[in-house]
């Protein structure tokens, strides 16, 4: 096969076509790496650039261009700029409030920042209009982003991804998970009003960013965890009644702003929702959490390979932190052969690489993938 550009390679995979090499992703919102692991990995690789943070909440690193080039990574990732109307100010304990008003705290024994309060826990429908939502008139999130997209992709050579948190996750974080789950059954009017308000705000604040990067943007990822390790978080019936219509509206909105393909990110067991994702027009499934019940690559490829490109699937829970280097090599090759048969697979870790993962294992994973 004639050599493909990185962007062509990714788009071929999304279209479920054979590629010249295995498409590789690394360094995004859902394919990142813990700061501590990346710092040691850079030391081993001899990359001297200063360590930078990609996600404060998840404590993941910004992956250097030198490392992306070294592992033949085909993707680049872009995010909206921080809004000038919101200032991140920290308390003495290091906690802070995000733009949506939720407090985040990093306990001494935690690797991440956790949600510490639910600002709308006691709210009623009439309180939603008075809440201090992110400023939708602040266009600074999109400032300079078209130029950044051009530079990141080397003028369109690399595939460009971005991602946004979903309305379901945002709603329960604002309300409190337990309370919002009760709302969905016992106070559906409030649940729907909150979901609609979150969707309205998201469209307002992210629309200008999508328009700015549209000429270079290839994939928009919607991050919306719907599964646990063994089951869905909510019933398919509740999803179809409450959440799916808002997902459909968001996807329509994205398609109005750009021609990017739609990826759906959900951890855990989501096999029950895959028919709904087909109905919504989702083309890419991430992270393919193979350690969750019912998410085996063979079954997914057999039953859904004609509908989806799979993105991820290299286990970061057990395999990457504990396996030997030969075991990692075998797993990478097996995963690529299974999900990549006939096209339709983008290689990446199944979500962010966790703290305490040996950096040598990460290097081995990408070295093997690079040569496929």
Q: What confidence tens digit (pLDDT) does each residue in 282-291 have? A: 999 999 999 9
Beta bridge partners of 221: 163, 263
pLDDT of 1 > 80? The answer is no
pLDDT at 79: 96
Tell me 3's DSSP state.
P
Using alpha carbons only, how large is the chain's radius of gyration in Å? 20
With contact defined as beta carbons under 8 Å apart, do 171 and 180 qualify? yes
Overall residue count recorded for the chain in this entry: 372
Residue by residue, DSSP assigns 176-196 as -HHHHHHHHHH-HHHHHHHHH
Average pLDDT over residues 1-13: 95
pLDDT digits (tens, 9 = 90+) for 248-292: 999 999 999 999 999 999 999 999 999 999 999 999 999 999 999
Beta bridge partners of 115: 104
pLDDT at 256: 97
pLDDT at 63: 98
CA 293/CA 291 separation, integer angstroms: 7
Domains annotated for the chain, with CATH where assigned, are: 6-81+121-370 (3.20.20.210)
Question: Burial of 303 by CB count in 10 Å (0-12 exposed, 13-18 middle, 19+ buried)?
Answer: exposed
pLDDT at 2: 86
pLDDT at 87: 83
pLDDT of 90 > 90? The answer is no
The confidence band for 72, taking pLDDT boundaries of 50, 70 and 90, is: very high
Average pLDDT over residues 115-140: 94
pLDDT at 93: 85
Collect all residues with Cβ–Cβ distance below 8 Å to 169 and sequence separation of at least 6.
Answer: 223, 224, 225
pLDDT at 214: 98
CA 331/CA 337 separation, integer angstroms: 10
């Amino acid at each position: 096969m004639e050599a493909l550009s990185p962007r062509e390679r990714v788009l071929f995979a999304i279209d479920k076509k054979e590629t010249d090499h295995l498409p590789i992703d690394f360094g995004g919102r859902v394919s990142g790496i813990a700061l501590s692991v990346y710092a040691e990995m850079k030391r081993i690789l001899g990359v001297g650039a200063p360590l930078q943070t990609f996600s404060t909440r998840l404590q993941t690193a910004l992956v250097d261009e030198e490392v992306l080039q070294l592992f033949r990574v085909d993707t680049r990732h872009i995010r909206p700029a921080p809004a000038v109307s919101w200032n991140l100010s920290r308390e003495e304990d290091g906690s802070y409030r995000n733009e949506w008003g939720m407090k985040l705290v990093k306990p001494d024994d935690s690797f991440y920042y956790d949600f510490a309060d639910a600002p709308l826990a006691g709210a009623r429908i009439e309180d939603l209009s008075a809440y201090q939502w992110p400023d939708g008139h602040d266009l600074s999130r999109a400032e300079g982003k078209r130029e950044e997209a051009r530079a990141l992709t080397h003028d369109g050579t690399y595939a460009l991804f971005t991602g946004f948190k979903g309305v379901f996750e945002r709603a329960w974080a604002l309300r409190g998970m337990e309370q919002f789950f009760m709302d969905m059954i016992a106070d559906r009017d409030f649940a729907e009003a909150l979901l609609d308000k979150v969707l309205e705000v998201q469209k307002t604040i992210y629309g200008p960013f999508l328009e700015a990067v549209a000429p270079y943007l290839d994939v928009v990822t919607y991050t919306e965890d719907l599964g646990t390790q063994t089951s869905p978080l909510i019933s398919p019936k509740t999803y179809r009644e409450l959440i799916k219509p808002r997902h459909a509206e968001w996807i329509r909105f994205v398609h109005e702003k750009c021609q990017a393909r739609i990826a759906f990110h959900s951890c855990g067991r989501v096999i029950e929702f895959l028919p709904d994702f087909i109905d919504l027009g989702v083309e890419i499934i991430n992270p393919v959490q193979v350690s969750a019940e019912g998410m085996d690559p063979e079954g997914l490829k057999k039953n859904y390979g004609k509908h989806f490109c799979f993105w991820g699937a290299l286990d970061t829970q057990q395999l990457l932190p504990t396996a030997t280097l030969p075991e990692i090599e075998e797993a990478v090759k097996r995963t690529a052969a299974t999900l990549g048969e006939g096209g339709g697979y983008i290689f990446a870790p199944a979500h962010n690489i966790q703290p305490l993962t040996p950096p040598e294992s990460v290097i081995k994973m990408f070295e093997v993938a690079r040569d496929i």
